[in-house]
């Protein structure tokens, strides 16, 4: 196993952590100067911007590129065994801090961070504001390809408490605790009957953009709770989140849990609800 990780200065609200660029820069510098060997990383950085060219043009020093569009990260039925194998190939042990980042808001990075938490890797962090926030501060970047790390031995066990079933989503919606994080136009879309029925009955709409600011940074806990209350959701109680494909909703679930809110992700998304609602009484 790798030696203890020097990431005690990260926010400690919970394991779903969001880290700002200056703090991550300090952690990277500390890990570089105190690591026993370069082949035994205390941190694994994952650049999940979808275009490989953006990674090659500039990325955080030491970051690996991970394509967020492959089925490992987009499936509504993720496979923890595949996730574990991917993390091991990247050199992750059980105590390795895995930091994800994308561009600007970092929806894909948030989904990946959430998936790692769900699969059972509790030491994760999401870079607040993504690569743009890092770059705007003039922090170091690199165009060098990262050499393969020695294989890690992380062992994962899924945490179903982070998700909700179709029946549970229906129950949340009945109590106005189901949050549709799609755009307002998508939430109010009309079906073939001409009625706005393209949403879970009883769900309230809080677009994913409402959980961050214009710079792509995550809202503070008080502001996030206020946004939810204004929409009729009790932030002190568990609530469900969903979208079309569980990308934006996974980001919301992750950042909400960073703010000590009990957000449960409905992984099948709207398409899954439509399929299940045919046979599932709600």
Same domain, 31 and 86: yes
Q: Are residues 232 and 112 in the same domain?
A: no
Query: Quick check: is 190 in a domain?
Result: yes
Please indicate, yes or no, whether residues 99 and 191 belong to a single structural domain of this protein: no
Same domain, 102 and 128: yes
- So what's the pLDDT on residue 279? 53
Cβ atoms of 193 and 213 within 8 Å: the answer is no
Q: Are residues 122 and 243 in the same domain?
A: no
Residue ending a domain, among 138, 158, 178, is 158
| Same domain? 224 vs 104 | no
Question: What's the confidence (pLDDT) of residue 191?
Answer: 64
136 in a structural domain: yes
Assess if residue 3 is contained within a domain.
no
DSSP string computed for the chain: -PPPPS-TTS--S-SEEEE-HHHHHHHHHHHHHH-S-TTS-SEEEEE--S-HHHHHH-B-TTPEE--TTSHHHH-SS--HHHHHHHHHHTT--TTPEEEEE-STT-HHHHHHHHHHHHHT---EEEETTHHHHHHHTT---B-SPPPPPPP--------GGGB--HHHHHHHHHTT-EEE-S-HHHHT---TTSS--SS-TT-EE--GGGGB-TTSPBPPHHHHHHHHHHTT--TTS-EEEE-SSSSHHHHHHHHHHHTT--EEE-TTHHHHHHHHHTTS--
Residues near 51 by beta carbon (within 8 Å), at least 6 away in sequence: none
Does a structural domain hold residue 4? no
User: Biggest alpha carbon distance in the chain?
Assistant: 65
The answer to whether residue 100 sits within a structural domain is yes
140 and 207 within one domain: no
pTM for the full predicted model:
0.88
> What is the Cβ-side half-sphere exposure of residue 95, based on CA atoms within 13 angstroms?
10
8 within domain boundaries: no
Claim to verify: residue 102 and residue 206 sit in the same structural domain: no
Same domain, 146 and 273: no
Consecutive sets of 10 residues in the chain, 282 residues long: mean pLDDT of each? 35 66 90 52 86 93 92 88 95 94 89 95 93 95 90 92 94 97 87 70 95 90 97 97 94 95 96 77 45
* Tokens, residue 25: 């820069």
Number of domains in the chain: 2
> What is the extent of the structural domain holding 183?
163-277
Q: How far is CA 247 from the centre of its chain?
A: 8
Tell me the CB-side half-sphere exposure of residue 12, using CA atoms within 13 A: 3
Is 266 a member of any domain? Answer: yes
With both helix axes pointing from N to C terminus, report the angle between 166-174 and 269-277 in degrees, rounded to the nearest 10: 90
Residue 140, phi-psi category: left (phi > 0), alpha (psi -120 to 50), beta (remainder): beta
User: Which of the listed residues 123, 158, 193 is the one where a domain comes to its end?
Assistant: 158
What does the pLDDT read at residue 190? Answer: 67
- Residue 202 sits in the same domain as residue 81: no
Return d(Cα 13, Cα 259) in angstroms, integer: 7
In this structure, the number of other CB atoms found within 10 A of the CB of residue 179 comes to 31
Where a domain ends, among 158, 188, 212? 158
CATH number at residue 47: 3.40.250.10
Asked if 125 and 184 sit in the same domain, the reply is no
172 and 269 fall within a common domain: yes
Residue 6 in any domain: the answer is no
């Amino acid at each position: 196993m790798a030696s203890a990780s020097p990431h005690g200065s990260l926010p400690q609200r919970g394991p779903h952590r969001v880290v700002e660029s200056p703090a991550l820069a300090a952690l990277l510098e500390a890990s570089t100067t105190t690591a026993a060997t370069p082949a035994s990383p205390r941190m694994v950085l994952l650049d999940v911007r979808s275009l490989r060219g953006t990674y090659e043009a500039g990325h955080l020093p030491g970051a690996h590129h991970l394509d967020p569009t492959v089925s490992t990260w987009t499936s509504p039925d993720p496979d923890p065994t595949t996730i574990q194998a991917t993390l091991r190939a990247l050199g992750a042990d059980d105590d390795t801090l895995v930091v994800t980042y994308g561009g600007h808001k970092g929806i894909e990075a948030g989904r990946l961070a959430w998936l790692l938490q769900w699969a059972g890797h509790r030491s994760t962090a999401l870079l607040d504001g993504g690569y743009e926030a890092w770059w705007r501060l003039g922090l170091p970047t690199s165009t060098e390809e990262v050499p393969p790390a020695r294989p890690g031995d992380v062992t994962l066990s899924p945490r179903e408490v982070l998700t909700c079933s179709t029946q549970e989503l229906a129950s949340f919606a009945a109590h106005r605790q189901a949050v549709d994080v799609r755009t307002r136009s998508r939430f109010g879309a009309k079906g073939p009957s001409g009625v706005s029925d393209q949403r879970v009955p009883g769900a309230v709409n809080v677009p994913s953009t409402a959980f961050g600011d214009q710079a792509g940074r995550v809202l503070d806990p008080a502001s996030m709770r206020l946004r939810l209350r204004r929409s009729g959701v009790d932030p002190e109680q568990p609530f469900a989140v969903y979208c079309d494909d569980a990308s934006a909703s996974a980001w919301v679930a992750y950042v909400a849990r960073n703010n000590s809110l009990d957000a449960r992700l409905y992984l099948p998304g709207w398409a899954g609800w439509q399929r299940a609602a045919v046979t599932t009484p709600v």
